[in-house]
Amino acid sequence: MLSEYQALITAATEARQNAHAAYSNFRVGAALRATSGRIFGGCNVENATFGLTVCAERVAIFKAISEGERGFDAIAVVTDTDSLTPPCGACRQIIW
């Protein structure tokens, strides 16, 4: 089962390298797999106003939708924390 998701984990890890987290230093990467098989990566992008910060999950989802995808079957999220970091409420609603 892990090998099925390894490409997502790798893509999320790579996307995390592009994170702009100048204020929190909390870098997040996400990778979304469309039912077509395409994988879309995203990273968090912070803004000094914090309210305009965009999470990695939403970046990946919006990127996929902007490129015409509509069906998704898996998402991976990578941080550098030792414990699991669940998506925020806004991301949970978008994922839903």
- Please give the mean pLDDT across all residues of the chain: 96
Catalytic residue among 14, 46, 57, 69: 57
Whole-model pTM: value is: 0.94
Handedness of CA 79, 54, 49, 16 (dihedral sign): positive
Largest Cα–Cα distance in the chain?
Answer: 40
- Contact status, residue 15 vs residue 32, Cβ threshold 8 Å: no
Annotated catalytic, 57?
Answer: yes
For residue range 31-52, what is the model confidence (pLDDT) as tens digits? 999 999 999 999 999 999 989 9
Give the pLDDT score at 48: 93
Alpha carbon distance 53, 5 (integer Å): 27
Q: Could you state, in order of their start, the residue ranges of all structural domains in the chain?
A: 2-95
Coil/strand/helix, residue 48: coil
pLDDT band at 90 (very low <50, low <70, confident <90, very high): very high
pLDDT band at 4 (very low <50, low <70, confident <90, very high): confident
Specify the fold of 2-95: Cytidine Deaminase; domain 2 (3.40.140)
Between β-strands 39-43 and 29-34, what pairing exists: parallel, antiparallel or unpaired? antiparallel
